[in-house]
Every structure is written in structure tokens, then in C-alpha cells.
Structure 1
Amino acid sequence: MREREPILTKTMKASEARQQFSQLLNQVFRGEARVLVEKSGIPVAGIISARDLERLTFLEEQRQKDFAVLDEIGEAFEDVPKEEIEREVARALTAVRRKQRPRRERVARAS
């Protein structure tokens, strides 16, 4: 199966985008381009396909859910001093890395 080529992102002045709007919409629809619109050299908008917008919306929703989980976890440790949390996290990371080291070394030797 052939990999999809990356979609080219064009950067255009707002005045150019306005003049070529119909062509840009067709290119975006066909998955040939994304457009970053600038005004006075400042990025102000993007023109993306409906599929890209759906993907972006999904990722934003997922991100909000992920942060909500982190907020819940944080609430459980509200009364624990930050320094103690940092010590425990460092200790846990050290333990996991120690446990994973033999596996990583085997993989490194095999390659």
C-alpha cells in the first residue's frame, strides 16, 4: 500500500486568498493543500478540509478529556506537598527505568 504524500501548506496574503478563493477551496477539498492566510505578515486564519476540521475537533475533545483526568488526579493529591510528589515521581521513574534497563540492553545488542 502506498503512503499518502504530505499535504502542502501554502501561505498566502489575505488579498491573494480572496482572489483565488474558489481555486483554493477546490485544492483543499481534493486534499492537495492547506492554506495559512496572513494579514500584514501575521497568520490570521487557516483553510483546511472538512476532514481535517473533524480530526482537529476530535483531538481537541480528546485533549480536554485527558486534562480532566489529570485534574482529577491532581485533586486527589491537593494536600500533599509539591516536593513530596516530585520525590515520589522521581523514585517511581527510577524504579521503572531500572526494571526496563535489561530489556533495552537486549534490544540494543540485537540490532
Structure 2
Amino acid sequence: MVDSQLTLTPVETVACCSPLTAEPLSAERAERVAPLLKALADPVRLRLLSLVASHADGEACVCDLNDAFDLSQPTISHHLKVLHEVGLLERTKRGVWVYYAVRPAALRDLGALIGGVAA
């Protein structure tokens, strides 16, 4: 199986502004960041990421998340797979269940890129 996880490069932040406003993004960096933003642009995936991040012990399986949505388990699993493939979630299999946890480094890198915009 090919690991399609996106590897983010840590970015330096400046006290007054984010790298996004400090200088134009290179085409290469934009190509790396766009899949993350695209994955998070879906309301279900954004909620799933939040639910996993705020779940007890910082991890959750599909069985923990089903009740929060009026969606089938396969649909929820598909959205979790998308978040995993772009590198926002880690997953581990335990028996028949797959548990998901947020990759803190991915969120920090994304936050550093778009956060801290001066008013």
C-alpha cells in the first residue's frame, strides 16, 4: 500500500503576521497546503476533525462518531479516510475497529500558515 499522507514542512511565524501575509506562497507550497484546506472545507470533515480532537483520550473510532451525524457508517469512514490521507488524522487498527487521532503537528503547521494575521 502506498502511503499518500501529505508531509508538511514546518513554517516560521513572525509575531505580527503569518507566512501567508509575509510573502506570497510558492507554487510548491500552495500545492502542498491546498489538499488540507480542501479536506477541511467540507462541513462533515471539519466537524469530524473537531470531534476526534476533543474526544476523551484524543482519539475516537467510527463507533464513537456515528451518533453525531445523520449519515451511514461507511460515509463517516470515507470522510475519516480523506482526513487521514491528507495527513490530518493518524489511525490505528485494534481488532475490528479503527481509531483516529489528530496529528498535532499538521494542525500546528496549518495554523502557523494562516494564523496571526495582523488587523
TM-score (normalised: structure 2)? 0.27
Q: Higher relative contact order at CA 8 Å, sep ≥6: structure 1 or structure 2?
A: 2
Structure 1 length as normaliser, TM-score? 0.29
The structure richer in strand per residue is: 1
Normalized per residue, the structure richer in helix is 1
